[in-house]
C-alpha cells in the first residue's frame, strides 16, 4: 500500500471540490473493496476523500411514486427496508445473496455499483491485465476463465461485474444521480453506467473524474413476482457463477437481467419480450453472440436452465 | 519406557478422567481471543520491527537483476535481505525448494527478498518498490501431459512405490465383471485460518523464533540447517496454532526470512505470510491422476484390485501416496499398486490432512461404488462382502482391530440406508434430485516416540512439559486428562505447557499420530513420577495407587503434595515402540454416509445430512474427537464440491490464491452432521490403547458425496471437485 492523505467531507460539494484539488484522489465509503485493492497496490490513490458521513443515507419517496436511495445507504439497511422488501423484492433478495452480513453492514449503495471485478488476474499484480495496466494484455484469456464473461467481452478483457444488487436494479430500470466537480447534476440510466471493455477496459463507467454518485432512483413499483437466483459452487459468500433476476407478471410477461456473464448486469430488451415464450427463447436473446472458452461454456446452458427453473417457480 | 508387548490393565483404564467429553482446557483463551498466537507476541521481546516478503513473479527462471535503491530509500526501511546478501544458506531436510530463492527461481511466489521496516505498512510499501528483472525459463506445469516422463520414485516415508501380490494381470483379464476407470483429484490448499507467522530475535548467535509450527523438533533442525548454525542455538516457541492441516509441519519462509531480517536489522522482526502468497509460496496437496481396475466374480467377490497413481512435484520432491490404503482395505487374491512421479515446476507438494488416503479414497471409493452397481449389489453389502481381517499382501499379519463392517452396518442402520432406492436419479423432492452415498474410511495408525517431563509442585499441582503442539485438536486437554488420570488429581490441578523446544521432544502433530503418541509419552513420564513420589513417601511403588489427591499403599494414605514438601518432584521419560506395528497392522476405520440434493435445473449441489461412524481405538476425549471428525467431514465436503487450486499451465502458478478464489465450505454448505464412535480399545498401540482420528474423519467423505450426487442424478463425475458445470449437460431436460 502506498502512503496517502485523507480527508472526511460533510457535503457532496466538498467531496467533488476535494477531488478537484487533489488529482488521483478516490472517494471512499464502506471501503470493502477499495481497501483490499490498495493493500495489493492495484489502486494507489494519493488521497482519499471519505464520503461515508455524507447525509445521503436515507430512502425517500419520489414524486413519480418511486424511491430515491441515498448513495450512502448501507446494503444491510437497503435490504431490510420495508418498502424495498414490499415493492422491490428483487433488490432485497439480490443484496442478501451477496457478500456477508459484516460486509453488507459496511458496503454502500453507490460503492456496491462501483466495486471492481474479482478476476483473479486483476488481483495478481505480477500478471498482465489491461484493466489494471492498460496495454499489458489479458492473462484471463487462455487462462483460468471459468468465472469469466461470455457476453460483451473484448479481446482486451473478459472480466465480469460482480454486483448482485446491480442486477436487480438494472431489471427495475434504476437511474443513477450524480454531481460533478462543477456542481452539475445528472441522471444516468444504470444500463448506461458501465462501459463496454472494448480496447480500454480500464475505463469502466460513464462517470467523469470526480463525479460523485449521490443516489439511485427506482421507478414506481412494477408488481409481479420477484425472484433472484444466484448460482454458485458454495451456498453462501461466493460471487455468482451466473445469476438470474426476474420480475414475472401474472400474464407471463416480465423482465430478466443476468449477473456473472458480462462486464455489467446483462439485460436485453428483446429478451424481456421473449419471456412469455419461455427460457429458451429468452436466453437466445440474452446471450446472442456469446463467446465462450472451454472453461466457461457451461454458463450458456446454466443461464437457460436457471431461468427455466425461476420461471417455473414464478408460476408457483 | 519401551512399548513392545500389548498393554495390560493400567491406571488409564480407570477412565475417571480419560475418555470423558471434557471441554478444551485452553478453550476460554481461544473463545475470548486471548490465546497469544505467534504474530501477537508483542510481549515476547521489545523493539520488534516488521518484515514483508517479496515473492517471485515467475515460476521458473532466474533473477536477471534486482534494484533495491528505491526500496532502501523508502520511509522506515531498516534492512533488505536477498539471496545475494543473505550469505550461505542450507536447505532443510523437509523442504524441497529453497526458502529464499535467487538468482535461480524454482516456483511462483518463492520468496526472493524480505524488507524490514519500522511499521508493517512501511515494509509493505517498500516491498512494492523492489524492482526485479527476470529471465523466464520454460517450465512443466501440466500433470496430465507429463505422465510419460513420470518415474518410479524411491520409497517415501516408508511407503514403497509399487506392490504386487498374486497375478493381477491374469486375474483381471479373466474376471467376469470388470471396472477400469480414471479419476482425478486437483491440487488442494490447506487454507488454515492462521497464516504462517514468526517473530525472530537474536541474542548473540542464539536465535529464538515465536512461530506457528506443528513439529517443533523437526523444525529446530531445519532452521539450524538452513541458517548454518548449531541446533542448540535455536529455540522454537509455538504454544498456540490457528490450524495447520500439514501446512505447518515444516519450516517456511516466514521463519527463515524473519531470522535473516532480524540479523540484518539488528532487531527482532515479525513476519506473516500474506494470504495471497500462501498458496504458491508454501506447500499444497498435489493433484493426482489415478487409474483403478477392479475384477470380481459375478457374485461380488473381488478377485483383483489394481490402483495406479500419478502425481507431480518439484525435482527432489515426493509422490502423493494415493495407493497406500488400497493395499489394505479390501480382500482380493490378486493385486497391484503403483505410484509414479512427474517433475513439475509448480510450487512444492507435501502433506495435507491424511496425505495419501484422502485423495486415494476419493478415487477408490467411487470405483467401489461403480463396481457394486455393475454387480447389481448394494454398495454397503459389497464392501462388507470383501472385508479382510488380515493384511491382504501379508496374510499372516492380522489387523490389531478392524471394525469396518461394524461401522458400515451401524451407519447404514442409523442413516436409514435400507429405505434407499437402488436405482439412481429417481428420488425427487420438489426441484431437488435427492441421493445418498456411502464410502469407507481408512487411515493408517502411526505411533511415534514421544517424551514429556512431569513435575509435582509443593501445592500438589502437576505440570506437564512437552514440545507437543496443539493445532486446534485438543492436545492440551487430552494430555491434562492423561496426567490427571495417572496421578489421581482433578483436571484443574494439571497445567500443560506445550510447543517449546526447551521441553522434551514429542511426536508433534501430524499424520494423526499426535493424540496417542503424545499421551503415551506423558503416560511414561507419569509412571516414572509415580515411582519417585511413592519412594519419597516411603510407599511401595509397585503397590501405590493414586486417587483423590492421595497416594495409598499398604494401608497408608498420604496426600500427594507431601511428596513435594521439600521441593518439586520431577520425572522425564519417553515412550518408544517395539515391533507391534509390524506384527499387527494398525489402522483406523470408518464409514461415511451422505445425503445430497441436486437442483434438477441448475445442478447446484447441497448436502442434507452427513454421518460418520468411526472405529479408532480408545477415544481419549469424545468431545474433542467429535470436533476433529466433524471438521474433517467439512473439509471432505470442500474437497468433494469446491476445493481446487486452479493451475495456470502457461505461467505455472495457482491462480485462485486467496480465500475469495479458493473456496472452502461455509456454514451454509454444511448440514446436520453426526458422529458415532464405536467402543474399541487397541492394546497394541500404546498403554493409552488409542489411535488417531483427526485424519480418519476426512478419508472417504468426498467419495461419499460424489456417490450421493451420482445416486441423485445418475451422473458419474470422476474428476473432482464435483461442480455443476460437470453435471449441466446431463441433467434431466427442462420444460
Distance from C-alpha of A152 to C-alpha of B691, rounded to nearest angstrom: 57
**Cβ contacts of B182 within 8 Å, gap of 6 or more:** B289, B290, B291, B292, B718
With 0-12 CB in 10 A as exposed, 13-18 as middle and 19+ as buried, what is B401? buried
How confident is the model over B390-400, as a mean pLDDT?
97
A39 touches chain B (CB under 8 A): yes
Residue B571: strand pairing partners:
B454
Other residues' Cβ atoms within 10 Å of the Cβ of residue A5:
11
When scoring A235, A258, A294 by the number of chain B Cβ atoms within 10 A, the one with the most, hence best to mutate, is A235
Interface residues of chain B, partner chain A, Cβ below 8 Å: 57-58, 75, 121, 124-125, 128, 276, 431, 599-604, 606, 641-642, 646-648, 650-651, 655-658, 660-661, 663, 665-669, 721, 723-725, 728-729, 731, 734-735
Residue B171: strand pairing partners:
none
CA B455 from centroid of its chain's CA atoms: 31
Q: Do B125 and A3 touch (CB under 8 A)?
A: yes
State whether residue B664 is helix, strand or coil.
coil
Range with the lowest mean pLDDT among B131-135, B153-157, B318-322, B371-375? B153-157
Residues of B in contact with A124 (CB under 8 A): 276, 655, 657
ipTM above 0.95, yes or no: yes
**Cβ contacts of B663 within 8 Å, gap of 6 or more:** A233, A234, A238, B638, B642, B643
Nearest to B136 by CA among B68, B56, B66, B67: B56
pLDDT in the model for residue B361: 98
The rounded percent of chain B whose pLDDT value lies above 70 is: 100
pLDDT tens-digit readout, B643-669? 999 999 999 999 999 999 999 999 999
Strand order in the sheet with A59-61: A59-61, A67-70, A212-218, A175-179, A185-189
Q: Do B648 and A139 touch (CB under 8 A)?
A: yes
pLDDT in the model for residue B735: 66
Chain B residue with the nearest C-alpha to that of A302: B602
Distance from C-alpha of B62 to C-alpha of B83, rounded to nearest angstrom: 12
**Cβ contacts of B69 within 8 Å, gap of 6 or more:** none
B124/chain A closest Cα distance in angstroms = 6
A1 touches chain B (CB under 8 A): yes
pLDDT in the model for residue B423: 97
Measured between alpha carbons, how far apart are the two ends of chain A, in Å? 51
Q: Do A239 and B646 touch (CB under 8 A)?
A: no
Nearest to B668 among A121, A123, A236 (CB): A236
Q: Do A40 and B276 touch (CB under 8 A)?
A: yes
pLDDT in the model for residue B282: 98
Distance from C-alpha of A157 to C-alpha of A140, rounded to nearest angstrom: 8
When scoring A35, A42, A98, A124 by the number of chain B Cβ atoms within 10 A, the one with the most, hence best to mutate, is A124
pLDDT tens-digit readout, A217-249? 999 999 999 999 999 999 999 999 999 999 999
How confident is the model over B701-729, as a mean pLDDT?
98
The rounded percent of chain B whose pLDDT value lies above 90 is: 99
- B158 or A86, greater pLDDT: A86
Does residue A99 register a pLDDT over 80? yes
Distance from C-alpha of B233 to C-alpha of B201, rounded to nearest angstrom: 12
Q: Do B734 and A279 touch (CB under 8 A)?
A: yes
CB A38 within 8 A of CB A6: no
How confident is the model over A184-188, as a mean pLDDT?
98
How confident is the model over B184-188, as a mean pLDDT?
98
pLDDT in the model for residue A89: 98
pLDDT in the model for residue B156: 82
Does residue A128 register a pLDDT over 90? yes
How confident is the model over B612-619, as a mean pLDDT?
98
CA A117 from centroid of its chain's CA atoms: 9
Q: Do A39 and B124 touch (CB under 8 A)?
A: yes
Distance from C-alpha of B554 to C-alpha of B501, rounded to nearest angstrom: 41
Q: Do B669 and A235 touch (CB under 8 A)?
A: yes
Cell 524411491 belongs to B154
Nearest to A233 among B663, B667, B731 (CB): B663
A95 touches chain B (CB under 8 A): no
pLDDT in the model for residue B424: 98
B568 flagged as catalytic: no
Distance from C-alpha of A298 to C-alpha of A241, rounded to nearest angstrom: 10
With 0-12 CB in 10 A as exposed, 13-18 as middle and 19+ as buried, what is B490? exposed
Chain A residue with the nearest C-alpha to that of B601: A305
Does residue A23 register a pLDDT over 90? no
pLDDT in the model for residue B713: 98
Nearest to B677 by CA among B590, B553, B581, B566: B590
pLDDT tens-digit readout, B479-522? 999 999 999 999 999 999 999 999 999 999 999 999 999 999 99
pLDDT tens-digit readout, B244-281? 999 999 999 999 999 999 999 999 999 999 999 999 99
Active-site residue identified among B308, B348, B365, B695 = B695
Distance from C-alpha of A162 to C-alpha of A236, rounded to nearest angstrom: 14
pLDDT band at B159 (very low <50, low <70, confident <90, very high): confident
How confident is the model over A180-194, as a mean pLDDT?
96
CA B332 from centroid of its chain's CA atoms: 29
Q: Do A309 and B724 touch (CB under 8 A)?
A: no
Cell numbers found for residue B684: 497394541
Distance from C-alpha of A26 to C-alpha of A41, rounded to nearest angstrom: 14
Residues of B in contact with A304 (CB under 8 A): 734
pLDDT in the model for residue A234: 96
Residues of B in contact with A3 (CB under 8 A): 75, 121, 125
pLDDT in the model for residue B61: 98
Query: To 5 degrees, how large is the angle CA A43–CA B666–CA B631?
Result: 125
* Beta pairing class for B428-429 and B432-444: antiparallel
A112/chain B closest Cα distance in angstroms = 17
pLDDT in the model for residue A1: 87
What's the mean per-residue pLDDT of chain A?
97
pLDDT in the model for residue A316: 81
Strand order in the sheet with B545-547: B545-547, B550-553, B556-559
B120/chain A closest Cα distance in angstroms = 10
Nearest to B612 by CA among B691, B682, B696, B721: B696
How confident is the model over A165-189, as a mean pLDDT?
97
pLDDT in the model for residue B399: 98
Amino acid at each position: 500500500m502506498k502512503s496517502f492523505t485523507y480527508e472526511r467531507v460533510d457535503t457532496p460539494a466538498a467531496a467533488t471540490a476535494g477531488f478537484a484539488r487533489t488529482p488521483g484522489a478516490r472517494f471512499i465509503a464502506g471501503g470493502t473493496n477499495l481497501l483490499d485493492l490498495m493493500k495489493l497496490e492495484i489502486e494507489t490513490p494519493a488521497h482519499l476523500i471519505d464520503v461515508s458521513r455524507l447525509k445521503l443515507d436515507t430512502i425517500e419517496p419520489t414524486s413519480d411514486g418511486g424511491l430515491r436511495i441515498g448513495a450512502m445507504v448501507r446494503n444491510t439497511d437497503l435490504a431490510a427496508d420495508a418498502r424495498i422488501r414490499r415493492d422491490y423484492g428483487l433488490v432485497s433478495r439480490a443484496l442478501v445473496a451477496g457478500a456477508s452480513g459484516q460486509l453488507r453492514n459496511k458496503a454502500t449503495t453507490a460503492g456496491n455499483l462501483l466495486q471492481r471485478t474479482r478476476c483473479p488476474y486483476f488481483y495478481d499484480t505480477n500478471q498482465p491485465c489491461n484493466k489494471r495496466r492498460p496495454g499489458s494484455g489479458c492473462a484471463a484469456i487462455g487462462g483460468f476463465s471459468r468465472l469469466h464473461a461470455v457476453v460483451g467481452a473484448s479481446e482486451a478483457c473478459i472480466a465480469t461485474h460482480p454486483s448482485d444488487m446491480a442486477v436487480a436494479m438494472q431489471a427495475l430500470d434504476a437511474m443513477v444521480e450524480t454531481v460533478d466537480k462543477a456542481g452539475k447534476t445528472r441522471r444516468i440510466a444504470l444500463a448506461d453506467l458501465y462501459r463496454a471493455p472494448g480496447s480500454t477496459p480500464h475505463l469502466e463507467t460513464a462517470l467523469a473524474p470526480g463525479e460523485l454518485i449521490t443516489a439511485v432512483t427506482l421507478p414506481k413499483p412494477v408488481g409481479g413476482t420477484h425472484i433472484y437466483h444466484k448460482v454458485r459452487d458454495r451456498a453462501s459468500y461466493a460471487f455468482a457463477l451466473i445469476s438470474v433476476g426476474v420480475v414475472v407478471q401474472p400474464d407471463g410477461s416480465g423482465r430478466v437481467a443476468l449477473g456473472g456473464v458480462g462486464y455489467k448486469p446483462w439485460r436485453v430488451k428483446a429478451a424481456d419480450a421473449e419471456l412469455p415464450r419461455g427460457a429458451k427463447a429468452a436466453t437466445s436473446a440474452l446471450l446472442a453472440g456469446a463467446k465462450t472458452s472451454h472453461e466457461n461454456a457451461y454458463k450458456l446452458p446454466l443461464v437457460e436452465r436457471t431461468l427455466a427453473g425461476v420461471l417455473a417457480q414464478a408460476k408457483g | 519406557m519401551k512399548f513392545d508387548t500389548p498393554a495390560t490393565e493400567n491406571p488409564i483404564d480407570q477412565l475417571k478422567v480419560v475418555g470423558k467429553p471434557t471441554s478444551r482446557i485452553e478453550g476460554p483463551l481461544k473463545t475470548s481471543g486471548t490465546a497469544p498466537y505467534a504474530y501477537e507476541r508483542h510481549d515476547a521481546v521489545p523493539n520488534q520491527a516488521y518484515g514483508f516478503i517479496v515473492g517471485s513473479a515467475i515460476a521458473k527462471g532466474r533473477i536477471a537483476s534486482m534494484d533495491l535503491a528505491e526500496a532502501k530509500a523508502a520511509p522506515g526501511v531498516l534492512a533488505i535481505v536477498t539471496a545475494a546478501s543473505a550469505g550461505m544458506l542450507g536447505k532443510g531436510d523437509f523442504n524441497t525448494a529453497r526458502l529464499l530463492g535467487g538468482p535461480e527461481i524454482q516456483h511462483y511466489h518463492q520468496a526472493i527478498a524480505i524488507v524490514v521496516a519500522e511499521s508493517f505498512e512501511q515494509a509493505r510499501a517498500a516491498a512494492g518498490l523492489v524492482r526485479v528483472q527476470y529471465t523466464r525459463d520454460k517450465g512443466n506445469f501440466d500433470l496430465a501431459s507429463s505422465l510419460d516422463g513420470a518415474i518410479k520414485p524411491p520409497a517415501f516415508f516408508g511407503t514403497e512405490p509399487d506392490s504386487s501380490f498374486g497375478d493381477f494381470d491374469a486375474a483381471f483379464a479373466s474376471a467376469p465383471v470388470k471396472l477400469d476407470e480414471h479419476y482425478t483429484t486437483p491440487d488442494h490448499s490447506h487454507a488454515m485460518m492462521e497464516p504462517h507467522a514468526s517473530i525472530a530475535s537474536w541474542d548473540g548467535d542464539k536465535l529464538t523464533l515465536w512461530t506457528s509450527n506443528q513439529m517443533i523438533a523437526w523444525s529446530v533442525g531445519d532452521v539450524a540447517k538452513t541458517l548454518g548454525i548449531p541446533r542448540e542455538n535455536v529455540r522454537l516457541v509455538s504454544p498456540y496454532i490457528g490450524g495447520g492441516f500439514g501446512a505447518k509441519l515444516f519450516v517456511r519462509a516466514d521463519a527463515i526470512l524473519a531470522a535473516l531480517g532480524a540479523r540484518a536489522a539488528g532487531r527482532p522482526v515479525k513476519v506473516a505470510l500474506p494470504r495471497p502468497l500462501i498458496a504458491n509460496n508454501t506447500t499444497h496437496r498435489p493433484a493426482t491422476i489415478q487409474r483403478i481396475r477392479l475384477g470380481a466374480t459375478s457374485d461380488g467377490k473381488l478377485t483383483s484390485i489394481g490402483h495406479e497413481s500419478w502425481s507431480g512435484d518439484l525435482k527432489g520432491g515426493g509422490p502423493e501416496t494415493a495407493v497406500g490404503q488400497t493395499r489394505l482395505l479390501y480382500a482380493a487374491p490378486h493385486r497391484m499398486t503403483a505410484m509414479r512421479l512427474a517433475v513439475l515446476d509448480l510450487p512444492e507438494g507435501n502433506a495435507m490432512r491424511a496425505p495419501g488416503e484422502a485423495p486415494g479414497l476419493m478415487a477408490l471409493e467411487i470405483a467401489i461404488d461403480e463396481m457394486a452397481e455393475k454387480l447389481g449389489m448394494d454398495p454397503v453389502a459389497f464392501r462388507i462382502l470383501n472385508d479382510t481381517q488380515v493384511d491382504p499382501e501379508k496374510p499372516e499379519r492380522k489387523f490389531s482391530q478392524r471394525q469396518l463392517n461394524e461401522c458400515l452396518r451401524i451407519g447404514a442402520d442409523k442413516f436409514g440406508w435400507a429405505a434407499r432406492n437402488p436405482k439412481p436419479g429417481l428420488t425427487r423432492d420438489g426441484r431437488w434430485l435427492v441421493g445418498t452415498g456411502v464410502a469407507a474410511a481408512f487411515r493408517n495408525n502411526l505411533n511415534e516416540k514421544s517424551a514429556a517431563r512431569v513435575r509435582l509442585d509443593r501445592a500438589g499441582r502437576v505440570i506437564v512439559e512437552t514440545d507437543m503442539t496443539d493445532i486446534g485438536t485438543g492436545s492440551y486437554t487430552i494430555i491434562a486428562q492423561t496426567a490427571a488420570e495417572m496421578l489421581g488429581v482433578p483436571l484443574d490441578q494439571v497445567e500443560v505447557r506445550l510447543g517449546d523446544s526447551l521441553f522434551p521432544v514429542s511426536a508433534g502433530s501430524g499424520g494423526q499420530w499426535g493424540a496417542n503418541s503424545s499421551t503415551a509419552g506423558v503416560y511414561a513420564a507419569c509412571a516414572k513420577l509415580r515411582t519417585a513420589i511413592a519412594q519419597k513417601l516411603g510407599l511401595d511403588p509397585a503397590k501405590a495407587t493414586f486417587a483423590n489427591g492421595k497416594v495409598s499403599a499398604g494401608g497408608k494414605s498420604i496426600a500427594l503434595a507431601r511428596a513435594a514438601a521439600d521441593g518439586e518432584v520431577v520425572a522425564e521419560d519417553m515412550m518408544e515402540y517395539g515391533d507391534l506395528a509390524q506384527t499387527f497392522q494398525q489402522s483406523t476405520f470408518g464409514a461415511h454416509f451422505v445425503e445430497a440434493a441436486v437442483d434438477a435445473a441448475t445442478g447446484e449441489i447441497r448436502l442434507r445430512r452427513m454421518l460418520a461412524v468411526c472405529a479408532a481405538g480408545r477415544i481419549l476425549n469424545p468431545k474433542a474427537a467429535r470436533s476433529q471428525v466433524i471438521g474433517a467431514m467439512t473439509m471432505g465436503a470442500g474437497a468433494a464440491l469446491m476445493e481446487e487450486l486452479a493451475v495456470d499451465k502457461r505461467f505455472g502458478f495457482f491462480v485462485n490464491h486467496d480465500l475469495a478464489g479458493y473456496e472452502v465450505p461455509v456454514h451454509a454448505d454444511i448440514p446436520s452432521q453426526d458422529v458415532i464412535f464405536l467402543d474399541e480399545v487397541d492394546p497394541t498401540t500404546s498403554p493409552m490403547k488409542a489411535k488417531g482420528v483427526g485424519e480418519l474423519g476426512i478419508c472417504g467423505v468426498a467419495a461419499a458425496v460424489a456417490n450421493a450426487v451420482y445416486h441423485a442424478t445418475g451422473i458419474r463425475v470422476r474428476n473432482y471437485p464435483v461442480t455443476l458445470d460437470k453435471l449441466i449437460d446431463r441433467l434431466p431436460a427442462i420444460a
